[in-house]
Amino acid sequence: MKLYVTDLSPNSRRVLAAVHHLGLEQETDVQKFNLFAGEHQTDEFRAINPNVKVPVLVDGDFTLWEANPIMIYLADRRGAEEFCPSDRMGRIEVLRWQSWEVQHFNRALGDIVWETVAKQVFGIGPADEEKISAGQDNFRRFAGVLEDHLSDRDFVLGDKPTVVDFSVGSHSALALHPQSQVPLLEFPKVLAWLQSLEAHPAWAKTAPAPASEAAE
């Protein structure tokens, strides 16, 4: 299999972490693009993903873009039921939380850390305080849902980490960045869950270097 990723991306991180967790390193040829140098903007890569974005997985004749389905595909390929349940209701739970993180939780989180971390690291202008404040309000709304959900479990689907934790927690390094201004102290269960994800062996292997923690 060939996997196209970049160093500076929570979307790439979640897929790479799944590769490690599932023990697929030997079967996966990882190609890293430097997005800032425009290495992905070629006709060849556009033919692989017309969105011209990473991550992308190519497995024989099959090409798959979008981080969340790539992780599910890899888990199914491995028959990794504990990591990604395949029964009807288990799969619905995976889809529920992955939809939620894309649309709500990580969108709010991304809005904050774009202003507080990414802009500083990439030197692309001052943080917009109004956008930070709006992002924080939005984050509180959805983090409250996760806080309640984690009241009786360690991970999103129960007592073990699954593909859903890699999805919902994909921005962990940015959220835990000292300058993030993500109001995590108001959500102790969410904070503890993010910290435990950071300690997960496969997740830890894919931790961004300090200077590259501002992604997307």
Ligand X SMILES: N[C@@H](CCC(=O)N[C@@H](CS)C(=O)NCC(=O)O)C(=O)O
Q: Which positions touch ligand X (CB under 6 A)?
A: 6, 9, 11, 35, 52-55, 66-67, 215-216
Q: How far is the CB of 151 from ligand X (least distance, A)?
A: 29
Q: How far is the CB of 117 from ligand X (least distance, A)?
A: 14
Closer CB to ligand X, residue 70 or residue 156? 70
Closer CB to ligand X, residue 106 or residue 187? 106
| Helices 129-149 + 188-199 axis angle, to 10 | 80
Closer CB to ligand X, residue 17 or residue 67? 67
Closer CB to ligand X, residue 35 or residue 164? 35
Q: How far is the CB of 31 from ligand X (least distance, A)?
A: 13
Per 3-state DSSP, what percentage of the chain is helix, strand, and coil (rounded to 5)? 60, 10, 35
Q: How far is the CB of 216 from ligand X (least distance, A)?
A: 5
Going across the sheet that includes 62-65, the strands are 29-33, 2-6, 56-59, 62-65
Tokens of 185: 């102290």
Q: Which residues pair with 3 in a beta bridge?
A: 30, 57
Tokens of 142: 């959805």
3-state class of 32 per DSSP?
A: strand
